[in-house]
Structure 1
Amino acid sequence: MESFRGTFTNKVDAKGRVSVPAKFRAVVAAQGFNGMTCFPSFLGQFLEGGGPAFTAEIDAILNKLPPFSPERDQLAAILVGNAVDLMFDGDGRVVLPREFMDHAGITDQVTFVGMTNKFQLWSPSGYEVFRAEALRQASGHTGLLSEAFSALTGSRTVQPPSGGGQSGGAQ
């Protein structure tokens, strides 16, 4: 399955129209949709976007929660109730709602960031701050990658010995 990859910064015109990267349009087109679903993130000043596969993933997660729980209702209100389908025009553009742009601090440019099953839309300066912090913290996440690899392959990863790189052999 194709995924959203790469980072692209595009201009936003006075009407809020922005060209969605061709690579991202191809992913949602392969999912049978001529647009993107988008909503303001509750995790920060950016927008979440994706196609039918991403919205199906959200629905599946929500459907695992008790149907009348406050947590499900709160998450559904944000992830589904605030979502809009933005259809591509003939030039591959969408019109970003003004309240979405305000939430993300988007003015004359927007940065699209691929995240495999979804993508995010940031103000360029907001993304640079996030990216710098993510780069700083990424080395601390190697254990998560090892665990995920092991789960995918069914293999066990061998951790290097601690203590300066010397093995415990005879001396």
Structure 2
Amino acid sequence: MNRFLSNATNRIDAKGRVSVPSSFRAVLAQRDIRELYCFQDFVFPAISVGGPELLDRFERQIAGEDPFSPMANRMSLLIHGGGVFMRLDSEGRLMVTDFIRDFSGITTDVTFVGRADHFQLWAPQAFEAEQAAARAERRSRGPGPG
């Protein structure tokens, strides 16, 4: 499998680390992603995590704009000012830094959520509430696409 799918919740250890689910580590290994680009999601109270190609995609979008335009400046503010590079340790754990905690509200547990080409770190209660809201909205639209 070469996509991040499903979700899992893991506890943060006493040293502030959390184990990344093995299925997510397998996708990272398959894609040969060793350095993680982590940024504050544009919509949700979550940290989005992917490889350097995720940052490259946003930078190509910015490069297509006038570099002095409000759009390019806002996008740079979000992806550069709201992003960091991180690495997993040798045991497949990620350090849950203040950058992650302050933006997402994560305290003792992290919910990992697959988003196809990247994954997200959520506070479990926030994820459950947002997923329930998405389901309710989808149900209200009825069957079929759209």
TM-score (norm 1): 0.75
Deviation, structure 1 residue 11: 0.9
- Do 1:31 and 1:52's aligned partners in 2 also have CA atoms closer than 8 Å? no
Alignment-derived partner of residue 37 in structure 1:
37
- Do 1:104 and 1:122's aligned partners in 2 also have CA atoms closer than 8 Å? yes
SS of 2:53's equivalent in the other structure is helix
Q: How many percent identity over aligned positions?
A: 35
Alignment-derived partner of residue 26 in structure 1:
26
Alignment-derived partner of residue 155 in structure 1:
none
Deviation, structure 1 residue 36: 1.9
Unaligned runs of 5+ in 1: 145-171
Higher relative contact order (CA 8 A, sep 6+): 2
CA-based RMSD of the aligned residues comes to: 2.0
In 1, the alpha carbon distance for the partners of 2:68 and 2:30 equals: 34
TM-score (norm 2): 0.86
1:22-171 paired onto structure 2 within 5 Å: 22-139=22-139, 140=141, 142-144=144-146
Unaligned runs of 5+ in 2: none
Task: Point out the more displaced range, 19-28 or 132-141.
Answer: 132-141
Once the two structures are superposed, what CA deviation does each residue of 1:59-118 show, in whole Å capped at 9, x if it has no partner?
222222222212211111211232111111110011122132121110110001001112
In 2, the alpha carbon distance for the partners of 1:35 and 1:9 equals: 22
SS of 2:45's equivalent in the other structure is coil
- Residue type at the aligned position of 2:97: P
User: CA 1:79/1:22 → structure 2, altered by over 3 Å: closer, same or farther?
Assistant: same
Asked which structure has the greater CA Rg, the reply is: 1
> How many matched pairs?
144
In 2, the alpha carbon distance for the partners of 1:72 and 1:124 equals: 33
